[in-house]
């Protein structure tokens, strides 16, 4: 098993990063939380979860062990796979996720695309005793509105949404609020899709 990959960040998008280590570029799926941490980094260390299936060998990367632990807890819940867990972690920061579980906030989890009421309740029931309420939250500023639109659109398309629907939602969001960063735009768009 791979514990972590440390190297140069050669490409980073809201859904994946390419980390070069000893001449090999590793394609690593990431959450928005990790993306915000990696944006201005030339090199980094990502903690890894390997999903090995018959048809694919997929790497999921996390900026810190805490985020990976939350991911592992999420995928331990029946009905929550790695992609659903990543979608949850892209919609909710680690502190928001922990708060939602600790306070039994089903609506917060239901707001994540692909998570219904039963799955949200199952996540809360299974993880409530394993999660403690957090203290801090993370935000990042990105200057250009076009850059935010482009990055958010790329992320939504990579997550499986149609480009036309994604553009419509993003235009609506960005026309009403100019002060959102890319992470907030994607979170809000995911709730509107």
- The residue out of 62, 92, 110 marking a domain boundary is 62
DSSP-derived letter for residue 128 is G
Using one digit for the tens of pLDDT, what is the confidence trace for 1-40? 899 999 999 999 999 999 999 999 999 999 998 998 888 8
CATH of the domain at 158: 1.10.8
Mean pLDDT on 31-52: 91
Average pLDDT over residues 116-143: 69
CB-CB contact of 70 with 76 (8 Å): no
Domain assignment of residue 138, yes or no: no
Domain hosting residue 172, numbered range: 145-192
Q: Which two tokens stand for residue 158?
A: 């990579």
Structure tokens at 189: 């768009």
Q: What's the pLDDT score for residue 141?
A: 32
DSSP 102: H
Buried b (16+ CB within 10 A) or exposed e, 49-58: beeeeeeeee
pLDDT computed for residue 145 by the predictor:
55
Confidence of residue 142 (pLDDT cuts 50, 70, 90): very low
Q: What's the pLDDT score for residue 149?
A: 80
pLDDT at 143 over 70: no
């Amino acid at each position: 098993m791979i514990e972590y990959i440390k190297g140069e960040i050669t490409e980073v998008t809201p859904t994946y990063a390419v980390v070069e280590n000893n001449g090999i570029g590793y394609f690593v799926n990431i959450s928005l939380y990790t993306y915000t941490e990696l944006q201005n980094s030339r090199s980094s260390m990502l903690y890894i979860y390997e999903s090995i299936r018959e048809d694919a060998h997929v790497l999921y990367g996390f900026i810190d062990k805490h985020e990976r632990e939350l991911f592992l807890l999420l995928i331990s819940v029946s009905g929550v796979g790695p992609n659903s867990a990543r979608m949850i972690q892209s919609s909710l920061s680690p502190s928001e996720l922990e708060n939602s579980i600790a306070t039994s906030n089903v609506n917060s989890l239901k707001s994540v695309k692909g998570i219904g009421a039963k799955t949200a309740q199952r996540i809360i029931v299974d993880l409530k005793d394993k999660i403690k309420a957090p203290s801090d939250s993370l935000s990042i500023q990105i200057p250009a509105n076009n850059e935010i639109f482009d990055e958010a659109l790329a992320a939504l398309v990579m997550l499986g949404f149609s480009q036309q629907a994604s553009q419509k939602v993003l235009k609506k969001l960005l026309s009403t609020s100019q002060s959102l960063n890319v992470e907030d735009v994607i979170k809000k768009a995911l709730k509107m899709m």
